[in-house]
Structure 1
Amino acid sequence: MSVIRSAGLRGFRATVAELGGDAEVFAQAVGLPRAALDADDLLVDDKKVAAVLELAAHRLQRPDLGLRIAYRQDLDMLGPLALAIRNSPTLADVLECTERYLFVHARALRLTMEPDPYGDRGVVGLRYGVDAGVPSPVQGTDLGLGFVHRAIQRLVEDRYGLRSVELPYRPPAPVAEYERFFGAPVRVDRPSAMLRIPSSLGARPLSGGDENLHRLAMAFLAEQTDAADASLIPQIRATVQRLLGTTPPEIGVVAALLAMHPRTVQRRLAAEGTTFAAILDDVRKHEARRYLTTTDMPMSQIASLIGLSEQATFTRCARRWWGSTPTAVRRAAAR
């Protein structure tokens, strides 16, 4: 399983409501957390994001749903990457930092500059999506490609000379609708999703940027990349904490969210002198104390929120953690 920040669903709720639908119904149908419709920083299964877009487009009979949502999205949804993009000196710098750090937003997505597939001089291809040969979800690709197109338009503040749009499928909406959206010819059943742009576009200077902010943003993104190769413990703790009370915090689930194999997680944690079970137990202990000392939730509810099936199990854990019962811990905190 690969994941994407829930910011990728910005505009989904509003667009669906405008078309007479209920975004929460569609989210529930595909197993997508309702909170993902309104928050930016949840890590959600990218297949479920693709599924909710396809389901909504089908139920609402709006095959152009992805393009409609693209109208509502802006660079801010990319988080720290947006700061680097907005303060890049040229469009080439924008494309370079996006190609390098798009994984911060979505682990499986790529935006790469490639030679023009037709060999036209002065033209390059800006390929968007998953690896070549992997099926592209129609609405998700429409949304992503539409977002990239509109982001470039905003950055250069005019028409940027788009030569054509390449789609790796035959879209359910009329091609004329795509051509109105992109303002360029659209070709279907191509090898990959791509915007064919002038090769000279990269040298276009961008106005309003701050070189210092660009440098700081790039340093921050580099630190996040380095962190992926540094200690794994903080990432495991944060992921387990997100899962507690919603999804069983099993090592397979956590490893999938971090795009790693469970054995790799075990090996790296062993090298850092700990285990997945130890981290899970410590997170449960921390969260249990927080609930006991700051809320009046029933013990059964706290047990559920820390991923324990029974209140009796919670009591046994409390005796092991603190040498006392959960009730005694709560009373002591109150005193």
Structure 2
Amino acid sequence: MERLGGHPEQLLERFAIPTSALAADDGLISVAAHDRLLDATACELGCPDLGLQLADAQDLCVIGPLALAIESAASVADAVARASEFMFVHSPALSVAAEVDPRGHPDVAALAYHKDIPGVPYSPQATELGLGIFDRVARSLLRDDLGLDSVEIPHDPISDPERYNAFFGVPVHFGGPTACLRVERWTLAAQFHSAGPAIRSVAMGYLESLHPEPAPGAADQVRLALGEVLGASSVAITSTARLLGLNPRTLQRRLAEEGTSYGQVLDEVRRDAAYRLITTTGLPFGQVASMVGFTEQSALSRAVRRWHGASPRDLRVKAASEETTAPADGFAHGREMHLFVADE
């Protein structure tokens, strides 16, 4: 925004997006506000290709914790399925999927990008940003194995058509039913091993960036890894041990030496994450359950009663009551800065 001559703080304030949420890995913002911000900024600053410019400024690190979800994917189709599951948990408005070709070619498949919130206007800039990042990440992971044929964008061009062709490097079609990358169907079955070193590097680099200490203990390493994969990937000890480069038995032994166990650390991580989501957001309890790695809301309810002696609803009501009686400049002020992932 600054490079384009805009004022980020003013724009964020206008659309009620707190700068504190952007600075925190677990900050939550309104998808609708995000989209309106992009469209208004592009219009007011005379930058019709803003979404593409933002996408082009990203590298593989943009996927952050998503790397933890797809690190062990066996194929491109498997990686897309895992990515879709992760994004649904963390933003119900987003999903990616491998689908049939919208143009009906049997040898072509669609890597589709969906962003849909009932009652929220369609955002051209947000769509181009999401599809552009999807393209850049796919290219980074698969290099020459992407098999990209063309790109479909649902809206009419808002920039010079040649800008789209230059960005994607293939023909771009407009006005179709969905936003997608059209790839050769063999791409879906392609082994993901070629992306293994790159995705593992991102996954490990992401974890290491969150823990600046040079040599944290085993329990801290597990706590950090689990905190990032809850709701996004397997929380089995075999998966966590692989991320940490350890044998599962070695990991268990190190945890025992520190007076704890894998199950105990997992329970603590779930407890802390659930408490934060229940007491500082208005997310539905079913979504909270998914975000902390429970398959059913009933499992969350049982766990919360065990942890706190109350139901999730009672815990949220109590937290709200305490917030209204807190000093104006106390902890409650920080909670006021939280927005929701999805919009009612």
Residue 316 (structure 1) aligns with: none
SS at structure 1 position matched to 2:193: coil
Residues 179, 185 of structure 1: 8 Å contact kept: yes
What residue is the counterpart of 1:172 in the other structure? 158
| Among 322, 329, 343, the residue aligned to 1:301 | 329
Residue 92 of structure 1 aligns with an amino acid whose one-letter code is: A
Map of 1:10 onto structure 2: none
Alignment of 1:1-335 (within 5 A): 16-131=1-116, 136-158=122-144, 160-202=146-188, 203-207=190-194, 209=196, 220=230, 221-222=232-233, 237-239=275-277, 241-242=279-280, 253-255=282-284, 258=287, 273-274=310-311, 276-282=313-319, 301-302=329-330, 305=333
Partners of 2:234 and 2:75 in 1: how far apart?
23
**1:63-103 superposed Cα distances (whole Å, 9 cap, x missing partner):** 10000000122343334322233554432332221133222
Residue 52 of structure 1, CA deviation: 0.9
In 2 relative to 1, CA 60–285 (structure 1 residues): closer, same or farther, beyond 3 Å?
same
Deviation at 1:186, TM superposition (A): 1.1
Amino acid at match of 1:145: L
Displacement after TM superposition at 1:209 (Å): 2.1
Asked if the contact 1:30/1:48 (under 8 Å) is kept, the reply is yes
Gaps of 5+ in 1: 1-15, 225-231, 244-252, 292-298, 309-335
How far apart are 1:258 and its partner, in Å?
5.0
Amino acid at match of 1:76: C
Which structure has more relative contact order (CA 8 Å, sep 6+)? It is 2
**How many residue pairs end up in the alignment?**
265
Distance 1:145 1:31 in 2: 25
Query: Offset of 1:222 from its aligned partner?
Result: 4.2
Query: Residues 300, 85 of structure 1: CA spacing in aligned structure 2 closer, same or farther, 3 A cutoff?
Result: closer
Instruction: Provide closer, same or farther for how the CA distance between residues 161 and 235 of structure 1 changes in structure 2, counting only shifts above 3 A.
Output: same
Asked if the contact 1:110–1:129 (Cα under 8 Å) also holds between the matched residues in 2, the reply is: yes
CA distance in 1, matches of 2:59, 2:333: 35
Which structure: larger Rg?
A: 1
Shift of 1:119: 1.9
Q: 1: CA distance between counterparts of 2:182 and 2:86?
A: 22
Cα distance change, pair 28–259 in 1 and its aligned pair in 2 (3 A): farther
Identity among equivalent positions (%) equals: 29
Aligned counterparts of 1:99 and 1:105: Cα–Cα separation in 2: 10
Structure 2 CA distance for aligned equivalents of residues 101 and 142 of structure 1: 20
TM-score normalised to structure 2 length: 0.63
Separation in 1, partners of 2:335, 2:150: 51
Post-superposition Cα deviations, 1:200-259, rounded to whole Å, max 9, x if no partner, equal 11214433626xx79x989752468xxxxxxx986663136546xxxxxxxxx4549959
Alpha-carbon RMSD across the aligned residues, in angstroms, is: 4.3
- Using the TM superposition, name which of 88-97 and 42-51 deviates more: 88-97
Q: What secondary structure does 1:17 align onto?
A: coil
Deviations along 1:151-198, one digit per CA (max 9) or x if unpaired, are 111011237332111111113212211111001111111111111101
CA deviation after TM superposition for structure 1 residue 39, in Å? 3.2
* TM-score, L = length of structure 1: 0.64
CA–CA distance in structure 1, aligned partners of residues 180 and 320 of structure 2: 44
Q: Secondary structure at the match of 1:190?
A: coil
Name the aligned partner's letter for residue 239 of structure 1: L
Q: CA deviation at 1:112?
A: 1.0
Ranges in structure 2 where 5+ consecutive residues have no aligned partner: 204-224, 236-269, 290-296, 337-344
For the Cα contact (< 8 Å) 2:99–2:112, is it kept in 1?
A: yes
**Distance change (3 Å), C-alpha of 1:259 and 1:49:** farther
Letter in 2 for 1:173: S
Q: Match for 1:237: what amino acid?
A: Y
